[in-house]
Amino acid sequence: MLKRVLRPFPQLIIALICLAAGTILDGVVFVKMMGFLDYALVGDMATLKAEIPGFLLQACLLIPIGLLGTITKSWFRKDANLCMKRYYIRGIFKKNISEFQQENTATYISRLTNDCNTLDTNFVDGIFTVFNGITNFCVAVWILSTVGKGMIGFAVTITLLTAVVSMLLSRPVSKKVKERSDQFDGYTSYIKEVLSAFHIVKSNNLQDKVTNDYYGKSEEIQHKGYVIEKIYTFMNALQNGSFSLMIYLGLCYLAYQAIQGNITAAGALTVSQAIQRIAWPLMMMSEAMPKIFASKGLGKKINESLLNKNKHEENIALHEFTDKIELKDVGFAYEDAEDKAKTLHDVNMEIKKNGKYLIIGPSGGGKSTLLKLLRKYFDASEGKLLIDGKPLADVKKEDYFSLIANVEQQVFIFEDTLKNNITLYKEYSDEEIKEAIEVAGLTSFIENLPDGLNTMIYDNGKNISGGERSRIVIARAMLAKASVLFMDEAFAALDMERAREIEQTILKLKNITVINVSHVIFKDSKSQYDKIFHVKGTVTEG
């Protein structure tokens, strides 16, 4: 992940150059100003007057260079955050469906929000803090060298002390930051679940329990933050105490040199200011460096959440479905099931091209699991699942998914126009769209909308009914002209009359295989299915 943060490297270099230029110019202006003090003390007004114009020009340049440094830093920060979040989103969509579903979606939300924000604050800001500290330190060393070479050794000593102490103390911080990130995962998941079940909480008077649970989780999060801050405070106190000791020793050395007459008044002031230039940036670096080191562990954790555990190579291309889908002695058990009990066992069934199949059975019997196997969301734990004689597990996902369409029980609607929700941003002719709308029973609904197909749908279909949302998804499937149509409780949100009409329309389609999992069963339609499968741990015909 940290490599992705640094991907806009040219912007980073430009920003660092601008910041360095501002720091160097500020040092040059300061040295010249101290030189003016010496000229004034010895009464050399001629030299003073001669150098003032150049000094003023350099001083004026500090303003645009400072602005440029701030702008370029913001530019890099923006691009770094975009690269980081785009990388994570791309990674999420490369995950296997089965492995994605094993994680709570709140975990991914937490990565995109809490963890990415932490990297932005600790790593991105830390880069500039450390670089600014190093640049200021180098300028301060140069300023010291204009007074006396002996002060350079003092500066090098402080630098080594900073690096060693920061590296030693970064380990406990890294561990605590990771622990807090894990807690944020659970916290975000809890908030998501509570808000999703808001109506249940209210209707069952669970406010007190939910509130108390929230207080407990919030306290855990804040306590972990408190522990991290305590560690930072201890580290900063130790580091700052070390720096202060070194600075005081340096001031004693400066006083000794002044007494011996080895430096002028301006020189003494220069050294004093140079020490401040060293002390403050190094204090900031001492705070930033442990955070940067700790970011490595957080970045590793983010990357691990994108890994697919199943490394099975899919090497079979499949551009059309020509014959049948077969399940031979198929069994399946969820990996995270406590007892490892099989959800399905000894499943044998055959689905022929363009056939119409109804899958029924009790809740918890395995209908949804069977559908996930057929959709290639999961691989069978045992047995063979073949399509046109080829192992479905070896068929490339992108090829198989291009052949199927899904009407899910949980309908998702994009916040966009009705047309884009039906076409899913693909190009279709007006006739194709019209035909899909008619099949789905959306014609009268769209005709009554002021903006027709250009009507905006908001917040996952909040401004339309559940039945209309289901019809939109059915229209998507019709428009895709897939070889296989999987329907998972597609009629659950529809009135009986509309459900019957749509089912009849789908059953009359000639060039598509239909696999319908449904609790809504019409007696007069059952005979129109080629086969009816009953699922209860295994599959039987009936």
Give the chain's domains with CATH numbers: 2-304 (1.20.1560.10), 324-541 (3.40.50.300)
3-class SS at 445? helix
3-class SS at 269? helix
Q: What's the DSSP call for residue 417?
A: B
Dihedral over alpha carbons 64, 67, 68, 72 (to 10 degrees) = 180
pTM: 0.64
Longest dimension (CA), the chain: 113
Give the model's confidence band at 168: pLDDT under 50 very low, under 70 low, under 90 confident, else very high: low
- H or E element that contains 295: helix 265-304
Query: To which residue do tokens 């963890």 refer?
Result: 115
Average pLDDT along the chain? 81
Q: Are strands 356-360 and 513-517 parallel, antiparallel or unpaired?
A: parallel
**pLDDT reading at 448 higher than 60:** yes
Q: Ranked by mean pLDDT, which of 39-43, 148-152, 223-227, 398-402 comes out on top? A: 398-402
pLDDT digits (tens, 9 = 90+) for 494-527: 778 878 887 888 888 888 899 999 888 888 888 8
Contact 124, 294 (CB under 8 A): no
Nearest to residue 305, comparing CAs of 165, 109, 121?
109
Give the model's confidence band at 281: pLDDT under 50 very low, under 70 low, under 90 confident, else very high: confident
Q: Ranked by mean pLDDT, which of 10-24, 25-39, 219-233 comes out on top? A: 10-24
In this prediction, residues 81-99 reach a mean pLDDT of 83
Alpha carbon distance 251, 275 (integer Å): 8
The CB-side HSE value for 118 (13 A sphere, CA atoms) comes to: 26
Share above pLDDT 70 across residues of the chain, in percent, rounded to a whole number: 79
In this prediction, residues 223-252 reach a mean pLDDT of 70
Q: Are strands 382-387 and 390-391 parallel, antiparallel or unpaired?
A: antiparallel
Give the model's confidence band at 85: pLDDT under 50 very low, under 70 low, under 90 confident, else very high: confident
pLDDT digits (tens, 9 = 90+) for 189-202: 667 666 666 655 65
Contact 289, 169 (CB under 8 A): no
Q: Minimum mean pLDDT among 39-53, 233-247, 355-369, 494-508: which range? A: 233-247
